[in-house]
Structure 1
């Protein structure tokens, strides 16, 4: 272990890295809250449309299939939108600048 003090540049770099991590964690937390809200809303819609006695396994399977299909479609559309935006901006992702 060395007794060297970090330089000003290293201190700034560490601060930026901490801020980036906190931002990422906060964004993930907000995403989880939004996902839970949507989960509750969609479950309520399913319970309204498919009133099943005793929370049947069939209703849960239909719900899981619906959510999975919805997530796949949304993910594909988001990926296409990102690629379209990258192409319009002239960036293909392989020429990242630091």
Structure 2
């Protein structure tokens, strides 16, 4: 296989300069894509965790509240369930807000 001579021409220098600028732009794009992927992955995993907790709370209400209240426990069980989910959402939101404020300092 013959070895070809490689000459640096003005066109090659221009191409390298353009590629460097595009490289900076592509790094910004890659960073934006990765940032968005992290956000979407976190949201997806958060949804899975929320659905898991949803099942746990429903089971706890069904197992412990319904036997105490009896046959008319449908609305009462849903009320207790909604209160527990709301409390959990408030606590998690407060903790995340505190963490965000701490990281901003």
TM-score scaled by structure 1? 0.67
Are positions 1:61 and 2:79 aligned together? yes
Q: How many residues align?
A: 83
Decide which of 74, 87, 92 is 1:74's aligned counterpart.
92
Larger relative helix fraction: 2
Larger Rg: 2
Once the two structures are overlaid, the 10-residue window that deviates more, 26-35 or 52-61, is 52-61
> In the aligned structure 1, how far is the partner of 2:100 from the partner of 2:35?
21
TM-score scaled by structure 2? 0.64
Q: Which has the higher contact order (CA 8 A, sep 6+)?
A: 2
